[in-house]
Structure 1
Amino acid sequence: MTTLGDFAIMYRQREQLPAKTRLLFTGGAVILLHCTAVALLVIGTAAAGQPLALGLVLTAYLAGIKHSYDWDHIAAIDNSTRRFVAQHKDPVSVGFAFSLGHSSVVILAGVLVVTGATLVGQLMEEGTTGNLVLGLIGSGVSGLFLLAMGIVNGSAFLRAARAYRNVLGGGDVRDEDLEARGFIARLLAKPLAKVERPRNIYVIGFLFGLGFDTATTIGLLVMTTAATLAGVSPFALMTIPLAFTAAMTLFDSVNGVAMMRMYKSAIDNPQRKLGFNAVITGISAVSALFISVITLGGFINGAFGMDDPATTWLAGIDLGDAGLTLIALFAVIWISAVLLGRRHAR
């Protein structure tokens, strides 16, 4: 019989567990979030039907799905996954960890709002000192992290491209040709040393979320619900940020696993798929660098109160819908590589 102690030991040693087992744990955590949200909604609306509360919960769930495809989410998960796979790890939980950290800000804001904390409303109000400080923390961390990952993966892309040209000329492929090495890798080794396991991405996701880009939407939704639905149970109100979290963790987890499979397919058979690896690594690097420039441009604009055209334009760019384009591009490249691989195998 498996005891609680056995589960605790298994959790501490989870890095040594098979990838399928860890994937089951991740899927179980996502299912648990969904079940908890449903349970809170049932408890909160048991006394009387609350169709408006149900509608707001569904709205929050759809908002979580949409936000999981924001370009900063896609770039952070993709570039982190690429780095772990290059280190011969199976990062099945990168998407889940990032999303859970990001949405923890939303849940915390929801709890404080439901318990009547007025500070959260002040932090979410545009133009306040608290909102500015948290926004700068979120944008500063996300911009620098994506910049570092973009540079690392850009270095890996250059190595893969050189190796691909070497293969076309009749040369052999080495495993290290798929990894970022040299001066760039050594330079960024120490700043990225704390992000050595998929679970470490939780902290990155949390710091990303401090900008209140997601918390503003859900926080205002919660406050609107609290103000307009007099007497609604706090359980029903807390379902709103939890539904947002459940949706975002589900789709970010799926995105992370799909990206892991993409990169592992290049690592597992490098000679046939080296060109594919170079292309998707290059896209990852470009997307991370592109978003880091936009994010850091907005950071500089807000931190120093600049009104120059360049940083003002960067601060006003909305990347909300661009992530779907990036996902579609990855999917097209992956499917094309699979079809070409099968064609050559015949």
Structure 2
Amino acid sequence: MRGEWRVAVAVIAGLNLLGWGLLLTAVVPSGIHYAVGGSTALAVGLAAYALGMRHAFDADHIAAIDNTTRRLVDRGRPAATVGLWFSLGHSTVVVLLCAALSVGLGAAAAAIAADDSGVHRVAGVWGPTVSAVFLLAIAAINVWSIRQARRGTGGAPPGGPVWWLMRRFESVVDRPSRMFGVGFAFGLGFDTATEVGLLAIAGTATLGRVPWWAVMTLPVLFAAGMAVADTAQGAVMRRAYAWRTGAGDGRPRRRAVTYAVVMTGLSAAAAVAVATVQLAGVGTETLGWGGVVARVGAIDLESAGIGLTVALLVIWVVAAIGFGIAGRRRVTVS
């Protein structure tokens, strides 16, 4: 656990020192402007950092980090850095795209700028589909965990091809570092306002003949902001799930199982809801579906993510308080 946190602190500190160090000691003193007549370099750097933090609250980020953390904690595995690794994989896509822009790769700029480009069409299907499949699969694993908790049993899932596939999937993401690949796959959809906003800033900067190292300062700041927020989310969720696993503290087992079921049920339900919205959006964009499907697909997952975060925290606090009160009453009566 301590080793995990040392890695997390070192990575986050390194990203922030690199990003802010370049901005404050090189970009700002050089008088570089990312856009003619636009905001100062400091303001643009702050915007890039804020976009990264804001992007971390997308509902698919929260659902993926929350469900994976829940599963790893349940298996007794390290889970404190799930959010960090996810954010690093996700932001790597943005860094690579900005690198392509900074070296003057015209094809990249055209593909990113045009909403009807082939890249956008493929990414618009790939990103949400991969995200939805991952969320549905990990929600299914967590639903199985609820069944096992209620039965008071452990061990391997029941037999059958479906659970065999689940076990294969589970082995792919069996440690926090494996979330790098998941985050990278999620990032290939680059269709959210925060990512597009940063890429637009970087693209404008390259047109103004801003040095490549100054352009690359922006995705580093974006990655630093996302890493801070996603790591914090993962740490809070790990605490929420690990809290009920404490042994030897007099907690009634039945109430501990109830707490686990409530938290896991919410986690799985959130993942299914986000996946449904994403798949509805893909169906609307690629197959022309309308009606209820189109309305579901139009839900803004970026805004919904903040509400999902608040809901998870509120339910955890309420459950923890209720569980604690019940435990104290039990000790008093005894």
- Is 1:182 aligned to residue 158 of structure 2? yes
Residue 46 (structure 1) aligned to one of 11, 29, 33: 29
Alpha-carbon distance between aligned partners in 1 of 2:262 and 2:58, rounded to the nearest angstrom: 21
Deviation for aligned residue 1:243: 0.9
Alpha-carbon distance between aligned partners in 2 of 1:328 and 1:43, rounded to the nearest angstrom: 39
Task: Single out whichever of 279-288 and 132-141 deviates more from structure 2.
Answer: 132-141
Residue 283 (structure 2) aligned to one of 293, 296, 300: 300
Alignment-mate amino acid for residue 177 of structure 2? R
Corresponding residue for residue 36 of structure 2: none
Residue 98 (structure 1) aligned to one of 86, 89, 94: 86
Alpha-carbon distance between aligned partners in 2 of 1:121 and 1:311, rounded to the nearest angstrom: 32
Alignment-mate amino acid for residue 79 of structure 2? P
Deviation for aligned residue 1:341: 4.0
Alignment coverage as a number of residue pairs: 312
Alignment-mate amino acid for residue 206 of structure 2? A
Corresponding residue for residue 167 of structure 1: none
Alignment-mate amino acid for residue 106 of structure 2? T
Render the CA deviation track for 1:205-245: whole Å, top value 9, x for unaligned.
Answer: 11101111243221112112333xx4533322222111111
Counterparts in 2 of 1:237-316, with a 5 A limit?
237-269=215-247, 271=253, 272-303=255-286, 305-316=287-298
Residue 312 (structure 2) aligned to one of 320, 323, 330: 330
Q: CA RMSD for the aligned pairs?
A: 2.1
Deviation for aligned residue 1:49: 6.5
Q: Secondary structure at the match of 1:320?
A: helix
**8 Å CA contact 1:97, 1:200 repeated in 2:** yes
Q: Secondary structure at the match of 2:52?
A: helix
Q: Secondary structure at the match of 1:143?
A: helix
Alignment-mate amino acid for residue 62 of structure 1? A
Corresponding residue for residue 216 of structure 1: 196
Corresponding residue for residue 191 of structure 1: 169
After the TM superposition, which parts of structure 1 deviate over 6 Å for at least 4 consecutive aligned residues? none
Q: Secondary structure at the match of 2:29?
A: coil
- Is 1:150 aligned to residue 153 of structure 2? no
Alpha-carbon distance between aligned partners in 1 of 2:281 and 2:317, rounded to the nearest angstrom: 36
- Is 1:113 aligned to residue 101 of structure 2? yes
Q: Secondary structure at the match of 2:157?
A: coil
- Is 1:207 aligned to residue 185 of structure 2? yes
Alignment-mate amino acid for residue 279 of structure 2? L
**8 Å CA contact 2:27, 2:41 repeated in 1:** no
% identical equivalent positions: 30
Q: Secondary structure at the match of 1:47?
A: coil
Alpha-carbon distance between aligned partners in 2 of 1:186 and 1:265, rounded to the nearest angstrom: 30
Corresponding residue for residue 45 of structure 2: 57
Change in CA separation of 1:339 and 1:317 when aligned onto 2, cut-off 3 Å: closer
Alpha-carbon distance between aligned partners in 1 of 2:231 and 2:19, rounded to the nearest angstrom: 18
Q: Secondary structure at the match of 1:252?
A: helix
Change in CA separation of 1:67 and 1:100 when aligned onto 2, cut-off 3 Å: same
Alignment-mate amino acid for residue 238 of structure 1? M
Deviation for aligned residue 1:308: 2.9
Alpha-carbon distance between aligned partners in 2 of 1:82 and 1:185, rounded to the nearest angstrom: 19
Render the CA deviation track for 1:259-316: whole Å, top value 9, x for unaligned.
Answer: 111111122347142211111100000000111111122223334x323324433332
**8 Å CA contact 2:123, 2:191 repeated in 1:** no
Deviation for aligned residue 1:140: 1.4
Alpha-carbon distance between aligned partners in 2 of 1:312 and 1:338, rounded to the nearest angstrom: 38
**8 Å CA contact 1:222, 1:237 repeated in 2:** yes
Change in CA separation of 1:294 and 1:49 when aligned onto 2, cut-off 3 Å: closer
Render the CA deviation track for 1:82-127: whole Å, top value 9, x for unaligned.
Answer: 1111111021211011111111111111111111112222322211
- Is 1:35 aligned to residue 23 of structure 2? no
Gaps of 5+ in 2: 34-38
Q: Secondary structure at the match of 1:321?
A: helix
**8 Å CA contact 1:276, 1:333 repeated in 2:** no
Alpha-carbon distance between aligned partners in 2 of 1:313 and 1:49, rounded to the nearest angstrom: 44
Deviation for aligned residue 1:192: 3.2
Alignment-mate amino acid for residue 312 of structure 1? A
Change in CA separation of 1:187 and 1:226 when aligned onto 2, cut-off 3 Å: closer
**8 Å CA contact 2:72, 2:78 repeated in 1:** yes
TM-score between the two structures when normalised by the length of structure 1:
0.83
Change in CA separation of 1:336 and 1:311 when aligned onto 2, cut-off 3 Å: closer
Gaps of 5+ in 1: 1-18, 164-172
Corresponding residue for residue 81 of structure 1: 69
**8 Å CA contact 2:56, 2:229 repeated in 1:** yes
Q: Secondary structure at the match of 2:45?
A: helix
TM-score between the two structures when normalised by the length of structure 2:
0.86
